[in-house]
C-alpha cells in the first residue's frame, strides 16, 4: 500500500513537470513559424495542420498537469505529514473548500476572460458586416504574431459577441484561476478558524483573499484612464495585463505557504480535519 502511495506521488510530480515542459517546448517550437517572410502559399496547409496539432498537444499537457496535481494532492492528504504542502492539501480537501475552489475557479475564469479580451463584446461592430464572418462560426488563425500569442482561436458567437483565445492567455487563465481558487479556499478556512480564536491571524486570512485578484489592478487602471486615449491604449493595457498577471503568479504561489504556517498546530499537524 505504501509503495503504491509513493508511486502515485512520483507519478503526480512527473505528470506536472511533463505537462509544463511540453507547453514550454510547444510555444518555443511554434514561434519558429511566425515569420511572415517564411510563409508561402504552398506551406499554408502545413502550418494550419500545425496550428490544429498545437491545441491538441496543449490540451493534453494541461490534462497531464491537472491529473498530476490531483494525484499529488491526494497523496499528501493520505500521508498526513507535517510539511507545509500537506497542510495546504489538508486545508483544501474538505467539502467546503472544494466548493469554494470550484466556484472561485469558474467565476474568476469568467472575469479573466472579460479582462484579458478572451470574451469579446463590440456593440459598435457587426462581425458579419465588417468582417464578413458567418454567424456562428470559428477557425484557428495560424500566423503571425509574437511568441505565445499564436495560433489564435477566433469564434463568432453573435454579430457582436465572440471569443479570441490566445495560447499564453489560456494557460495563464487556467494557472491563475487555480491559484486564486486555492488561495481563496485556504483564506476562508483560515478566517473561519481565526473567528473561533484558534490562533490564526485574521489579517493574514484577509490578505489571502485580497491577493486572490491579480487582474483587478489592471481593470481599475483601465477604468481610471478611460477610453479617451483610444484603441492603442486598450491594446497596451491588454499586453500590460498579461505581464502583470504573470508577475503576480509567484505571489499567488507564496501566499498559501504563508497561510499554511498559521494553520499548523505546535506539533506540526493541521488545524483543519479533512472530511
Reported as a single tens digit per residue, the pLDDT across 171-221 is: 988 988 898 888 888 887 777 665 554 444 444 444 444 444 554 444 444
For position 195, what pLDDT does the model report?
Answer: 59
Cα separations in angstroms, 267 against 200, 206, 260: 15, 25, 14
Q: What is the pLDDT along the chain (275 residues), one digit of tens a residue?
A: 455 555 555 678 899 999 999 999 999 988 887 776 666 676 677 888 888 999 999 999 999 999 999 999 888 888 877 788 888 888 888 888 888 889 989 988 888 787 777 888 888 888 888 888 888 888 888 887 777 888 989 899 988 888 888 898 889 889 888 988 888 888 877 776 655 544 444 444 444 444 445 544 444 444 334 433 333 444 454 555 666 666 777 877 888 888 777 777 665 566 665 55
Q: Which residues contact 75 (CB under 8 A, 6 or more apart)?
A: 5, 8, 9, 12
DSSP per-residue letters across the chain: -HHHHHHHHHHHHHHHHHHHHHHHHHHHHHHTT--GGG--GGGHHHHHHHHHHHHHHHHHHHHHHHHHHHHHHHHHHHH--SSHHHHHHHHT-SHHHHHHHHHHHHHHHHHHHHHHTSEEE-TT--HHHHS---SSEEEEE---SSTTS-SEEEEE-SSSEEEEE-HHHHHHHHHHHHHHHHHHHHHHHHHHHHHTTSS--HHHHHHHHHHT-TTHHHHHHHHHH-STT-HHHHHHHHHHHHHHHHHHHHHHHHHHHHHHHHTB-TTS-BSS---
pTM: 0.77
Cα separations in angstroms, 68 against 25, 71, 82, 215: 19, 5, 21, 27
Cβ 16 vs Cβ 9: under 8 Å:
no
For position 242, what pLDDT does the model report?
Answer: 63
User: Structural domain boundaries of the chain?
Assistant: 94-115+166-268+271-275
Amino acid at each position: 500500500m505504501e509503495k503504491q502511495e509513493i508511486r502515485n506521488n512520483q507519478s503526480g510530480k512527473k505528470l506536472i513537470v511533463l505537462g509544463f515542459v511540453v507547453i514550454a517546448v510547444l510555444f518555443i517550437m511554434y514561434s519558429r513559424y511566425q515569420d511572415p517572410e517564411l510563409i508561402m502559399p504552398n506551406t499554408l496547409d502545413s502550418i494550419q495542420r500545425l496550428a490544429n496539432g498545437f491545441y491538441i498537444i496543449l490540451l493534453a499537457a494541461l490534462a497531464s498537469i491537472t491529473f498530476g496535481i490531483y494525484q499529488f494532492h491526494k497523496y499528501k492528504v493520505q500521508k498526513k505529514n507535517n510539511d507545509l504542502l500537506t497542510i495546504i492539501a489538508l486545508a483544501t480537501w474538505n467539502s467546503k473548500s472544494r466548493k469554494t475552489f470550484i466556484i472561485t475557479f469558474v467565476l474568476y475564469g469568467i472575469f479573466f476572460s472579460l479582462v484579458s479580451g478572451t470574451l469579446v463584446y463590440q456593440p459598435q461592430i457587426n462581425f458579419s458586416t465588417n468582417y464578413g464572418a458567418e454567424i456562428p462560426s470559428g477557425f484557428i488563425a495560424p500566423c503571425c504574431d509574437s511568441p505565445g500569442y499564436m495560433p489564435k482561436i477566433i469564434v463568432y458567437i453573435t454579430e457582436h459577441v465572440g471569443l479570441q483565445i490566445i495560447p499564453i492567455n489560456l494557460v495563464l487563465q487556467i494557472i491563475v484561476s487555480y491559484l486564486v481558487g486555492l488561495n481563496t479556499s485556504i483564506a476562508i478556512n483560515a478566517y473561519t478558524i481565526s473567528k473561533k480564536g484558534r490562533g490564526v491571524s485574521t489579517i493574514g486570512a484577509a490578505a489571502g483573499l485580497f491577493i486572490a485578484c491579480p487582474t483587478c489592478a489592471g481593470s481599475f487602471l483601465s477604468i481610471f484612464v478611460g477610453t479617451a486615449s483610444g484603441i492603442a491604449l486598450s491594446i497596451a493595457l491588454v499586453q500590460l495585463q498579461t505581464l502583470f498577471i504573470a508577475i503576480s503568479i509567484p505571489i499567488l504561489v507564496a501566499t498559501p505557504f504563508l497561510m499554511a504556517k498559521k494553520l499548523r498546530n505546535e506539533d506540526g499537524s493541521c488545524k483543519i480535519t479533512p472530511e
